[in-house]
Every structure is written in structure tokens, then in C-alpha cells.
């Protein structure tokens, strides 16, 4: 059975972009893979953040993931900083990672350009991502297209490690590329992201979902109700593709191209389907939110299991590096 590793940022709010782009796939993978899912708080601290809210946001993300269908009886769910071997392996991988590879990462260049003083953690972020995966010798990693470059670097780091020490410590992880099209933010400008304020949260109420969806950007060709549109250029249509039945998607396509209906009609159908899909998620989240001790217990059990796997890998790593026995 393939072992899968994937991580989610502790952003607090799990939004519909995360849910449709990644988390529904996480839930599906549990059926026939050994899954290890991690809330990556050590990654989150490489950007400016609020120390007072990091822990609550981590817990909220755990609630969102469990409510969305991550099943602790089939997958390990834990918080990255609760398994200190992630940071330890990152240091070991530092010694085989070329600086030039880190400097050419697209995400590093974009994020560094927005900061006056660039912390080393931002540059080394992909080494920690490689450590996350290689610590568990995961051979499958679900990724969106924007993460393929980082996964390729993790594969390169595994190859370099194995070549440097003449051992096969790490398998090269293979991507499971999501076929879901990327969900843009409601402003239509950028990827859906909590920091950009262009999201719909999976725990939003039906009224909030409609309030946010109503003014969302659509195909600019539909200036008036009579102008035909191009559904393939519209983020609302992308979400229909993920949430509506094939018959409904075909109907949306035809109505859009013929100006048979207005964008509000189209959004109302999407809102109804989104509300129906998320009803059970909201219900489970309310139950879990009332039992934080149970959530902490799930995370503790996940971390304990993962520390066992991680320590076995680190034993091998310390040996091949020639470090003195403890
Ligand atoms: S009708 Fe629907 S798919 Fe077409 S532009 Fe409007 S919201 Fe988008």
C-alpha cells in the first residue's frame, strides 16, 4: 500500500478552495492508501504571524479537517511541531541541498520580493517540506500544480542524499496531481486565500455563503443579462464543476453561452449545492467544537504514531551520517 503525506497550513479557516482542491482528495485517498496528514505550524511561522492566534488557528484547522471527513481510524492527523524529528531531518537535509536550487523556487522569489528583510526560514522552507515527506518515506504526495516545483526539489534532495551517503535511505516521492481545477478567490484576481479575504469558509452559514457568492466576479463578457458568456473563463463555473451534477453543469454551460439566464441564477444554483454539500461538515464541526479534548486526543494519538515512524527514520539518518550513538 502506498504511503501518502500531505500538509495543511494552520490558517484557522478551511475554505472552499482548500476543501475542493485538496481535502476532498485527502478523504478519498484514505480508502486505499496509508495516509499521514499534518497541520504545518512550523511552515506557518516563516511568514509574519500573530503568536496569540497560532495555537487556536491550529485547533480550528484540526476541527475543519476532521469535520470534512479526515478519519483518525484510517489516517494519522497531527501537528508538525509535535514531532520534533521534522526539524531535525531538515537540518540533516540542509547538507545536501544546493543553495541555487532554493533561490530559484518561484514561491521564494514571490514571497521574498514582498519583504524588506528576508528570513533564512523562507529560503529553507522547501527543505522542511522535503523533510516532512522523507521522514515518513512517503512515496505519494497529492499536490496542486503550484506545488510541483517543491516536490521536484524533494525528489532531488532524496536523490542527492542517497548518492552522497551511498545508501537508499529515501524513496523518491511521486506526485498525485489533482485533476480539480484551481479555485480562484471570489475577487477573481488570485488563488482563494484567507489572507486575501476572498474566501468562502466551509463552516460559513447558508446566509453567509450567499452573501459572499452574490457579488463574486464572473466572466467579464457578461456585462448585462443579455450578453452571452464563456463558462470556461468563470470561477463560478469551475466551482459548479466540483459541486454540481453533470446534468447541472451541462445546463449551466448552455444557459451561460446563450444568455438564457443571469449570473445570479447561476450563483443561486451553486450556492444551493454548496450549502447542501457543507451541511454535514458544519454539523460535525459544531459537535467537535464542543469537545476540544477529543480533538486534542486525536492529534496526540496521531503525533505519537508519527513520532514512532519518524524516530526509526532518524535512527537510520544518524547512522549513515556517522553521528555518535546516544
Ligand atoms: S452564467 Fe454562470 S458561468 Fe456564466 S458567467 Fe455567469 S456565473 Fe459564470
- Cα distances (angstroms) measured from residue 217 to each of 55, 103, 161, 213, 214: 34, 35, 47, 9, 9
Catalytic residue at 212?
A: no
pLDDT tens sequence across 42-72: 999 998 899 999 999 999 999 999 999 999 9
- Do the Cβ atoms of 20 and 183 come closer than 8 Å? yes
pLDDT tens sequence across 217-271: 999 999 999 999 999 999 999 999 999 999 999 999 999 999 999 999 999 999 9
Give the helix ranges, DSSP H, for 95-205.
Answer: 99-103, 106-113, 120-134, 148-165
Q: Does ligand 1 have an atom closer than 6 angstroms to the CB of 256?
A: yes
Q: Which of 229, 248, 255, 274 to mutate to test the pocket of ligand 1 (most atoms within 8 A of CB)?
A: 229
pLDDT number for residue 114: 85
pLDDT number for residue 188: 86
pLDDT tens sequence across 72-112: 999 999 999 999 999 999 999 999 999 999 999 998 998 88
Question: How far is it between the farthest Cα atoms of the chain?
Answer: 76
Give 208's DSSP letter. H
pLDDT for residue 129 is more than 90: yes
Q: Which residues contact 318 (CB under 8 A, 6 or more apart)?
A: none
Q: Which of 194, 226, 267, 325 is catalytic?
A: 194
Compute the radius of gyration of the chain from its Cα atoms. Answer: 21
Record the pTM.
0.94
pLDDT for residue 126 is more than 80: yes
pLDDT number for residue 195: 80
Helix axes 206-213, 263-289, angle to 10 degrees: 140
Centre of ligand 1 from the C-alpha of residue 263, in Å: 5
Q: Does ligand 1 have an atom closer than 6 angstroms to the CB of 222?
A: yes
Query: How large is the average pLDDT for residues 281-291?
Result: 96
Q: Which of 111, 137, 223, 325 is catalytic?
A: 111
Distance CA 40, CA 37 (A): 9
Q: Which of 188, 210, 266, 270 to mutate to test the pocket of ligand 1 (most atoms within 8 A of CB)?
A: 266
Centre of ligand 1 from the C-alpha of residue 288, in Å: 36
pLDDT band at 138 (very low <50, low <70, confident <90, very high): very high
Centre of ligand 1 from the C-alpha of residue 195, in Å: 26
Amino acid at each position: 500500500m502506498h504511503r501518502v503525506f500531505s500538509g495543511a497550513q494552520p490558517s484557522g479557516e478551511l475554505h472552499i478552495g482548500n476543501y475542493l482542491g485538496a481535502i476532498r482528495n485527502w478523504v478519498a485517498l484514505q480508502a486505499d492508501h496509508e495516509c499521514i496528514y499534518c497541520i504545518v505550524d512550523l511552515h506557518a511561522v516563516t511568514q509574519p504571524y500573530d503568536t496569540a492566534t497560532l495555537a487556536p488557528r491550529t485547533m480550528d484547522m484540526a476541527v475543519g479537517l476532521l469535520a470534512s471527513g479526515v478519519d483518525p481510524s484510517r489516517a494519522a492527523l497531527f501537528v508538525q511541531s509535535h514531532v520534533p524529528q521534522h526539524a531535525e531531518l531538515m537540518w540533516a537535509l540542509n547538507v545536501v541541498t544546493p543553495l541555487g536550487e532554493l533561490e530559484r523556487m518561484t514561491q521564494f522569489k514571490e514571497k521574498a520580493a514582498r519583504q524588506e528583510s528576508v528570513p533564512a526560514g523562507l529560503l529553507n522552507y522547501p527543505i522542511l517540506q522535503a523533510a516532512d515527506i522523507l521522514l515518513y518515506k512517503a512515496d505519494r504526495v497529492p499536490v496542486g500544480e503550484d506545488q510541483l516545483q517543491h516536490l521536484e526539489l524533494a525528489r532531488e534532495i532524496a536523490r542527492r542524499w542517497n548518492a552522497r551517503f551511498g545508501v537508499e535511505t529515501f524513496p523518491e516521492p511521486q506526485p498525485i496531481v489533482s485533476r480539480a481545477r484551481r479555485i480562484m478567490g471570489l475577487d477573481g484576481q488570485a488563488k482563494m486565500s484567507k489572507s486575501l479575504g476572498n474566501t468562502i469558509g466551509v463552516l460559513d452559514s447558508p446566509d453567509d455563503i450567499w452573501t459572499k457568492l452574490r457579488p463574486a466576479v464572473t466572466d467579464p463578457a457578461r456585462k448585462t443579462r443579455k450578453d452571452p458568456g464563456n463558462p470556461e473563463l468563470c470561477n463560478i463555473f469551475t466551482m459548479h464543476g466540483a459541486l454540481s451534477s453533470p446534468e447541472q453543469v451541462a445546463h449551466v454551460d448552455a444557459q451561460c453561452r446563450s444568455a438564457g439566464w443571469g449570473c445570479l441564477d447561476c450563483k443561486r444554483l451553486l450556492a444551493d449545492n454548496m450549502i447542501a454539500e457543507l451541511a454535514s461538515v458544519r454539523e460535525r464541526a459544531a459537535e467537535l467544537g464542543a469537545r476540544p479534548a477529543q480533538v486534542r486526543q486525536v492529534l496526540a494519538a496521531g503525533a505519537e504514531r508519527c513520532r514512532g515512524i519518524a524516530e526509526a527514520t532518524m535512527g537510520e539518518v544518524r547512522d549513515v551520517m556517522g553521528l555518535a550513538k546516544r
